[in-house]
Amino acid sequence: MKSRRHFVRDLGIGAGAVSLAPLAGAAAAARVVIVGGGFAGASCARALREFAPAIQVTLVEPKKTYTACPFSNLVIAGQRGLAQQEFDYRGVVRSGVEVLHRSAVDIDPVGRRVRLDDGAELAYDRLVVAPGIEIRWGALEGYDEAAAERMPHAWQAGAQTLLLRRQLEAMPDGGLAVIAAPAAPYRCPPGPYERASLIAAYLKRAKPRSKLLILDAKDSFSKKPLFMQGWKQLYGDLIEWQGASDGAAPAAVDAGGMRLLTDFDEFRPDVANVIPPQRAGFIARRADLSDASGWCPIVARSFESTRQPGIHVIGDAAIANAMPKSAFAANAQGKLCAVQVARLLAGEEPVDTTLLNTCYSYVDTDYAISVAGVYRPQGDSWRSLDGAGGTSPLDADADARRREADYAADWFDTITGQVFG
Ligand code: FAD
């Protein structure tokens, strides 16, 4: 087993800030329940076992197979099989975590209990909630569950990913594909644009007379100059992006008629990928962890809910301010939350530290770009550290873009190995 100092170094958190006094006493007999076994929850569960092995850790996750969203755009582009996105929980169980394949349906924050869909109740000393996102059905007029079967979102990987892939395969050469991109905040800020890039790569190869139009609810997006440069260079007129100021914000869909409407226009695409507004997963609302925004406010340093003491929220569901909703961030938050939960259980103060994030995006299979950031709790929020991080340079050559594509692949193998391996 790694030393605790080694473990803390592996967090990717700022050096020097973490006190490594042994955890004992109350922490030893404590029980932590974690709801949601994605990048955030599974990382937190494993980190707790490593950091404070005496704590009993139970992970509640309904699915036996986790399907990762990162790299799922490659599946949509026909460059990768969905099986390469799938992971089971054997590694998590081996690490000493009790895994219950059930859904949490209710939380009693006063009695400190979680109710599962089979009626069982789990008592906890501290609870970590990491349910990811749910789609806000109806927030985009006409976009409900039935509409998603014709106009897939593919924003939760699995059947939706394959549906979008099949629709692109069936699209005629010379057809029109549209991506409707939402306003922030949403899961994976650069994700719609990586998807556009990889769909364009597929169309260029297989259906070169086709067109891909992005209708965006905003004017700016993550790595915009880099994406725009790559699109021009690789795909010419095949991709067109229109933003909110162009009047392109998606206003409604009519799935039966395969129509996508903005305030000014109506489009009749052959394939419509509608990425709708989102919010924290259902249990967050059920337990009154989310606010009017649909996301969960937290005390930045400890990830403890500002609405329900004793409950921590991590990953996409949490309001982590400047930190993007990414798997990288979810993993880092999960590990740091484990440290803070163990310290709180031992009667110690949460530590102050920094967290990192890097998001790679493919513009083509051998051409990737990235954005990196360093974040620190300041007052109530996670703030970006000025002068730290940045994006890939605009003037990089093909070798540099290829190297970033290799780094992206290494990153995916490393993080999934760490969380599920
Ligand atoms: P999730 O991974 O969604 O996990 C939540 C888990 O909670 C799920 O397994 C769910 O079954 C479970 N759950 C929900 N409700 C309950 C309940 N009531 N009881 C029990 N369990 C429950 N990020 C990157 O860093 N890099 C990338 O390249 C990248 N690419 C992306 C590409 C796409 C197309 C998309 C859509 C996302 C991408 N992301 C990427 C973002 C990344 O997938 C998410 O940020 C990440 O999955 C968030 O992790 P999470 O644990 O918060 O949520």
The predicted-structure confidence for 299-333, as pLDDT tens digits, reads as follows 999 999 999 999 999 999 999 999 999 999 999 99
> Is it the case that residue 23 has pLDDT exceeding 70?
no
CA distance 311 to 106: 13
Mean pLDDT computed over 277-299: 98
Query: Ligand 1 centre from 22 Cα, in Å?
Result: 32
> Is it the case that residue 203 has pLDDT exceeding 60?
yes
Q: What is the pLDDT of residue 28?
A: 63
Q: What is the CA angle 226-219-183, rounded to 5?
A: 105
CA distance 182 to 125: 38
Q: What is the pLDDT of residue 15?
A: 36
CA distance 298 to 388: 24
Beta bridge partners of 181: 216
Query: Ligand 1 centre from 348 Cα, in Å?
Result: 30
DSSP type of residue 205: H
CA distance 239 to 144: 27
Q: What is the pLDDT of residue 256?
A: 97
> Is any ligand 1 atom within 6 A of the Cβ of residue 188?
yes
Residue 86 in tokens:
């799938």
Half-sphere exposure of 107 (CA within 13 A, CB side): 27
Quick check: helix, strand or coil at residue 147? helix
Lowest mean pLDDT among 8-12, 192-196, 206-210, 402-406: 8-12
Angle between helices 398-420 and 39-51 (to 10 degrees): 60
Residue 169: CB atoms within 10 A of its CB come to 12
- Specify the residue with its C-alpha closest to ligand 1, atom 27: 70
Cis peptide before 185 (omega within 30 of 0): yes
What is the bridge-based pairing of β-strands 176-181 and 211-216? parallel
CA distance 267 to 256: 13
Q: What is the pLDDT of residue 29?
A: 82
> Is any ligand 1 atom within 6 A of the Cβ of residue 126?
no
Distances (CA, A) of 270 to 210, 231, 302, 370, 376: 10, 21, 47, 31, 45
> Is any ligand 1 atom within 6 A of the Cβ of residue 87?
no
CA distance 157 to 62: 15
- Specify the residue with its C-alpha closest to ligand 1, atom 43: 69
Q: What is the pTM of this model?
A: 0.95
Four-residue CA torsion sign, 318, 319, 325, 327? negative
> Is any ligand 1 atom within 6 A of the Cβ of residue 99?
no
> Is any ligand 1 atom within 6 A of the Cβ of residue 359?
yes
Are the beta carbons of 95 and 220 closer than 8 angstroms?
A: no
Summary mean pLDDT of the chain: 94
Token look-up 């051998």 returns 366
Helix (H) / strand (E) containing 179: strand 176-181
- Specify the residue with its C-alpha closest to ligand 1, atom 41: 326
Are the beta carbons of 274 and 164 closer than 8 angstroms?
A: no
CB neighbours of 326 closer than 8 A, spacing ≥ 6?
188, 189, 357, 359
Give Cα 416 to chain centroid, integer Å.
Answer: 13
Confidence category of residue 379, pLDDT binned at 50, 70, 90: confident
> Is any ligand 1 atom within 6 A of the Cβ of residue 326?
yes
What is the bridge-based pairing of β-strands 278-280 and 271-274? unpaired
Query: Ligand 1 centre from 132 Cα, in Å?
Result: 5
pLDDT in tens, 260-279: 999 999 999 999 999 999 99
CB neighbours of 44 closer than 8 A, spacing ≥ 6?
34, 128, 130, 314, 333, 334, 335, 337, 338, 341
Confidence category of residue 87, pLDDT binned at 50, 70, 90: very high
